[in-house]
Structures are given as C-alpha cells and as structure tokens.
A and B are shown apart, each in its own frame.
Chain A
Amino acid sequence: MLVPTPARTAPAGTGSHGFAAAFGGPGLVVADDAAAAGGRQPAGRRFTGQGWLRLISPVVAVGLWQAASSTGLLPASKLGSPASIVHTAYNLIVADSPTYGTLQSSLLVSCERWAMGFAAGVVAGVFLGVISGLSRAGETILDPIMQALRSVPLLGLIPLFIVWFGIGELPKVLFVTLAATFLMYIETFAGIRNVDRKLAEVGHVLGLRRSEMLRHIVLPGALPQVLTGLRLSLVASLLALVVGEQINASAGLGFMITQAEQFLQTSVIMVALIVYAILGLLADALVRLLERKALVWRRGFVE
C-alpha cells in the first residue's frame, strides 16, 4: 500500500511542453531552478556574493554592440545602437507621438491585459488542479481534457481566436489566461499528489479530520510546487501576451511593435522588447520574494 511517491509525477513536465518551450528561453531555466528548489537550497541564491560579477558580460556585450554601431559595422537600419535605443525610449516617454502614443500608456494597456489574463488563468488553473488533485473522479474527468488541451500549440489557436472572439481585447486576454491556466493546473495537481505520503500517515495517526488534513498537510505540502507553477506561468503568460498583442492591436506594447515594423524603426521594437523583458524579470523577482516569504521553513530562517 505504501507506494513511494516519485519526486514528480509525469504530468509535471514542467515547462518542457507548450508555450514556454516553444520559445525556449527563461521557461527552461525556471524549470531547472524549480527542481532544485525541492531541496533545501532555494534557487537564485547560488550566486550570492558574486552577483556583480554577473553584470560584466552583459555590459561588455552592450559595449561591443555600441562599438559595432558607431563604426558602421552594424547599420542603423538593421539595429539601432544602444544609445539610440535609450534616446528612443526617452522620446517615447516624454512625447505623445501620433504613431505610438507614449510608452507609459502602452505599458499600462499591456500590463492590464497581462494582469487580467494571468489572474484569471491562475484562479482557473489552481481551481481545476485542486479538484483533480483531491479526487479521483475529478482526475478522471478533468485530467484527460487538460492533458489533451495543453498539447495544443497555443500559437496555432490564434486564427481560431480571431474567428471566435474577433480582434478586440478578449482574445488577447484569453490567450494570456490559457497560457497560465495549463501550467497552474499541472503544477497544482502534481503538487497535491506529490505530498509526502509519510506526512499523510502522520496526519492519520494524529487523528486529523479531513479538513484539517487539507489545511495542515496537503495544501501546505503542495504550496512549493504551486509557487513554481506561478513562476512558470508568469513567464508563459508574458510570452502569450507578446504574441497575443500582435493580433491587430490598437494600443499596448504589441501595437507599438507592429507600428514600428511598418516604419522600419528597429529601436522602437527594441524598446518594447526590453520593456517586456523587464516586466518578466520583475514578475519573477516578485514570485521569488513570495516564495521566500511563504517557504521560510525550507531555509530554516527564523524571523
């Protein structure tokens, strides 16, 4: 009866499928960190103390880029120099251009889409994951659907979404929601099923009622993986935002990009991409902070 729980159930192919993987990039890194986070040392602290060393290579890269632009090796029509990008960003912030609007207003529109879509996705994913995780019937009904749907490449859904939901806000937000939902579902489900069975036994011998079992053992036990899901789905939903926003947008960062494409203004595109990147980094930092707060017990910090 005591089947040792595998460290991670099969559905937890964390980020190795679907959206995050389609774009490579940070999703995979986060997945690695997440695996490591199962142990004592939380991710992201490995480089503490030599953090500034990690700034060297990016700075050198930007320096080389600037040099290539200044010497004409890299024509401005292909890619503007770092200085010109900073200049463009400055202009986009201070002036309300008829083509682009301001950078702040675009950012706000994008953030709104992201926040709405992401929040809906997290709620839906956690809800479905808890149902599947807690009951065999829930699993039997929900899991096949979720597993099948999550294998559908999100990008391929764009034409359908346009047919179904038009080109307004809805398909963009929904696109973000979808990306977050699947990852949250998978991680929540796996998180609940991976709760240490030995602790469940402790709950029994201590005479915990079902509700106490959930509150004290099962849900807190699933939390680390749910937070990992949160991080993965932040990344995935940001990617979904970038793609979704290019569906005929009339505002937002994606709109800036499509406009700039028409006028061949690579530095505007670069500005938008950098803002996306900063958003991703900030969101990741936020979740890490959340993890640090919620999972203190894992590092044994007594505060």
Chain B
Amino acid sequence: MAPRLRGIKEISSERAPAPPQAHAVPSGVAASLRGVTRSFGFRKVLGGLDLDIAAGEFVALIGRSGSGKSTLLRALAGLDQEVTGSIAAPGPVSVAFQEPRLVPWKRVLANVALGLRAADPVSVARTALREVGLAERESAWPLTLSGGEAQRASLARALVREPRLLLLDEPFSALDALTRITIHRLVLSLWERHRPAVLLVTHDVDEALALADRVLVLGDGRIAHQAPITLPRPRDRDHPALSALRLRLLTELGVPADSTQLTPVTFRSGMPSRIPWAPPRSELRGPTD
C-alpha cells in the first residue's frame, strides 16, 4: 500500500503563520517567543522556550546535535504547525537552509526572483545576485553551481525579500574552510548594510564567536545559557575574551575542557582533518610499506 502522502492542498494550507496566539511585541523586537513547546511523540524537544531577538541583532544559536535548533528555527519560519506557545515574528521572515534548496528547474536569477512581490522583481533579484558576487552566474542552472555558489544564491534569495528576520540553519556547514571564511565576511557585510535581525543556527562555536552579538546555547529544550559579545568585528579568534568564552560555551555544550585541547579541529571553523592540498597519507608512505 502506498505510504500516506499528503496532497498539495494540505501542504499549501500550512502557510498560515504557525502559532495560534502571537502576543503583541514592541516595535524594536524582530522575534519574540514565549513558552514555545514542541514534542515528537513522547520526546519533548522544546519545553517552554522564551526568547527575544531585537531588531537588527545578530544572534547565534548553538547546541548539541538533536537539541532542537532546527526545530526552533522551523517554528519561527512558520513551517511547523504543531508547535505550541506564542511566537511573534512581525515583518518579512526569510530562511536559508543548510542545503541551498534552490529550485533545480529555475535558473539562478529566477530562483532569487521567485515569489518576489517587487515592481520589477528581475532587476531587484539581479542586484541581490551582484551583492553576493554571483552576477555572472545568473543564467546558470542550480545543479551546475558549486556548493559555495549555491549557498550564496540561496543567501541572495533570502536577502532580496528585505527580511526583518533572517533565519540561517547551518548554511555554511557543508562548505570548505576557505569558502566559509569568504561567506562569513559576505554575511557580515550584507548584515551591516541591510540590518535584518539574524538567527544563525550553527554547531561551530568559532563561527558563532566570530559573527554574533549574542550567543545562545540550546539545552533541555530551552535557552540554557547566553552570552553577549561586544567586541568589534572583524574579531581575532585568539582574543583572550573570546578564548575564555569559547571554553565556557564548550563546557555548556558538555565538552570536557581538556578534550578541547586535544581535538580542537572539530570546533574550529570547519577545518578538515586532512589539509586539502597535502597528498593522501598513502602517497606519503614508502613503496614497501
């Protein structure tokens, strides 16, 4: 028998902003969550979570795998109908997912312009592509883009809507270290220019430290810890204040302090365990090995 898949009608009707009662929020707030709760079966993933994000604030959300980061972000994006509590996110909300999720049968420009309600969507989209440095790839098919290009296109598609709240779910985790650094800079400059509030989900503590005004740690279904960062950007990752905060956050994440000394690679900015331009280990061995 066929698995019960839902009709498009049902998919489409999910559009209405998720939670039933969204509380009133002052104008300086981009998102406000009160008592947000979500369970899957008997597992409570979010349990009465409260959070406010100020307009224009850059917030990073870290947490162990499975702690509910994506669940929270989907709730904010209005993609989750079964979440309870109150969520207020006035104004346009944009999302960039971990996979770029470009519509494969639309060229890059059409992807960015998709659903855009501007007077001249195409030229607006073109401007956005120029901002992320993809102007000359506008007529490419998404499947021909490199990972970094696709992610930048996805970013352009999110930003072109001039969101008040930009939700980023680990959009950089599949990129190599160099591309990541480039995209970090890009995100910061775009953020400085357009000033949306940003909620960046990441598992990379260094990424959070480099970018955010405030780092949140999700644990036990609520914001278990949070730390503001006032250092100006660009930040030196070896700054003593950041080093102290890094340790603190890693401890919050349940990583024993001394193990961070042994395996820093996992938490650095996505540095691969093997240097890309070095020959594979097998080639370094002697022929008789």
What is the interface of chain A, defined by CB distance below 8 A to chain B? 1, 3, 5-6, 9-11, 40, 133-136, 138-139, 192-193, 195, 197-208, 210, 212-214, 216-218, 220-221, 223, 295-298, 300-302
- The 8 A CB mask of B1-32 against A (1 = contact, 0 = none) is 11101111111101100000000000000000
Give the complex CA separation of A63 and B90 in angstroms. Answer: 78
Minimum C-beta distance from A227 to chain B (A): 13
Indicate whether B157 reaches chain A with its CB closer than 8 angstroms: yes
A302 touches B141 (CB 8 A): yes
Please determine whether B103 and A202 come into contact, CB atoms closer than 8 angstroms: yes
The residues of A that contact B12 with a CB separation of less than 8 Å are: 210, 213
Q: Which residues of B contact A40 (CB under 8 A)?
A: 143
Residues of B with C-beta under 8 A to A202: 97, 101, 103
| Most chain B CB within a 10 A radius of its CB, from A195, A207, A212 | A207
With the chains together, A192 CA to B10 CA distance in Å?
A: 13
Alpha-carbon separation in the docked complex, A42 to B243 (Å): 51
Size range of the chain B interface in the assembly? 35 or more
Q: Is there a chain A Cβ closer than 8 Å to B93's Cβ?
A: yes
Q: Is the CB of B79 within 8 A of A204?
A: yes
Interface string of B134-163 (1 = CB under 8 A from A): 000001111110000000000001000100
Interface centre among A6, A197, A297, A302 (most CB of B within 10 A): A297
Closest-by-CB residue of A relative to B99 is A198
CB within 8 Å for A298 and B104 given contacts A203-B115, A205-B95, A208-B115: yes
Q: Are B15 and A204 in contact (CB under 8 A)?
A: yes
The reply to whether A201 and B105 form a contact with Cβ atoms under 8 Å apart is no
| CB<8 Å pairs between A and B, sample of 16 | A10-B2, A136-B9, A136-B10, A139-B7, A197-B11, A206-B114, A206-B115, A207-B117, A208-B114, A208-B115, A213-B11, A214-B8, A216-B106, A216-B115, A297-B104, A301-B141
CB distance from A2 to the nearest CB of B (A): 9
Question: With A40-B143, A216-B106, A297-B143 known to touch, is A204 a contact of B78 (CB < 8 Å)?
Answer: yes
Question: Are A192 and B8 also in contact (CB < 8 A) when A9-B2, A201-B79, A205-B93 are?
Answer: yes
Interface members, chain B 176-216 (any A CB < 8 Å): none
Cβ of B79: which chain A residues have Cβ within 8 Å of it?
201, 204-205
CB within 8 Å for A134 and B141 given contacts A199-B101, A220-B105: no
A6/B8 in contact, CB under 8 A: no
A135-B77 contact, Cβ under 8 Å, with A208-B115, A296-B141: no
Rounded to whole Å, the gap between the CB of B74 and the closest CB of chain A is 8
Task: Please indicate the chain B residues that have their CB under 8 angstroms from the CB of A223 in the complex.
Answer: 105
* In the complex with contacts A136-B6, A205-B77, A1-B103 CB distance below 8 A: no
Name B's A-contacting residues (CB within 8 A): 1-3, 5-12, 14-15, 77-82, 93-95, 97, 99, 101, 103-106, 114-115, 117, 139-144, 157, 161
Give the dominant DSSP class at A's interface. Answer: helix
Chain A residues positioned under 8 Å from B144 (CB to CB): 300, 302
Most buried by A among B8, B77, B93: B8
**Min distance, Cβ B223 to any Cβ of chain A, angstroms:** 24
Bound complex: CA of A219 vs CA of B130, how far in Å?
A: 30
B138 to chain A, nearest CB (A): 11
Instruction: Known A10-B2, A201-B79; judge A300-B141 contact (CB<8 A).
Output: yes
Q: How far is the CB of A150 from chain B (nearest CB, A)?
A: 14
> In the complex, A301 Cα to B107 Cα: how many Å?
11
Are B8 and A213 interface neighbours, CB within 8 A? yes
**CB nearest neighbor in A for B1:** A10
CA distance A3 to B103 in the complex (A): 20
Query: Are A9 and B5 within 8 A (Cβ)?
Result: yes
Q: What is the bound-complex CA distance between A12 and B81, given in angstroms?
A: 30
Q: How distant is A210 from chain B, measured CB to nearest CB, in Å?
A: 5
Chain A, Cβ-Cβ closest to B77 = A205
- Bound-complex Cα distance A193 to B101 (A): 18
- Distance in angstroms from B98 CB to nearest chain A CB is 10
* Cβ–Cβ contact A216 & B103, under 8 A: yes
Which chain B residues lie closer than 8 Å to A214 at the CB level?
8
> In the complex the two chains form, what is the Cα distance from A207 to B160 in whole Å?
13
Q: How far is the CB of B87 from chain A (nearest CB, A)?
A: 15
A136-B6, A201-B101, A205-B78 provided; 20 other pairs, C-beta below 8 A? A3-B5, A133-B8, A136-B7, A136-B10, A139-B7, A195-B8, A199-B101, A199-B103, A202-B101, A203-B115, A206-B115, A206-B157, A206-B161, A207-B117, A208-B114, A213-B12, A218-B8, A220-B103, A298-B143, A302-B141
Q: How far is the CB of B206 from chain A (nearest CB, A)?
A: 28
> Smallest CB-CB separation from B115: which chain A residue?
A206
Chain B residues, CB < 8 A from A195: 8
Residues on the B chain within 8 Å of A10, using CB: 1-3
Residue among A40, A134, A136, A205 facing the most chain B CB atoms (10 A cut-off): A205
In the complex, what residue of chain B is closest to A300 when comparing beta carbons?
B144
Q: In the assembled complex, which residues on chain A have CB atoms less than 8 Å from the CB atom of B140?
A: 302
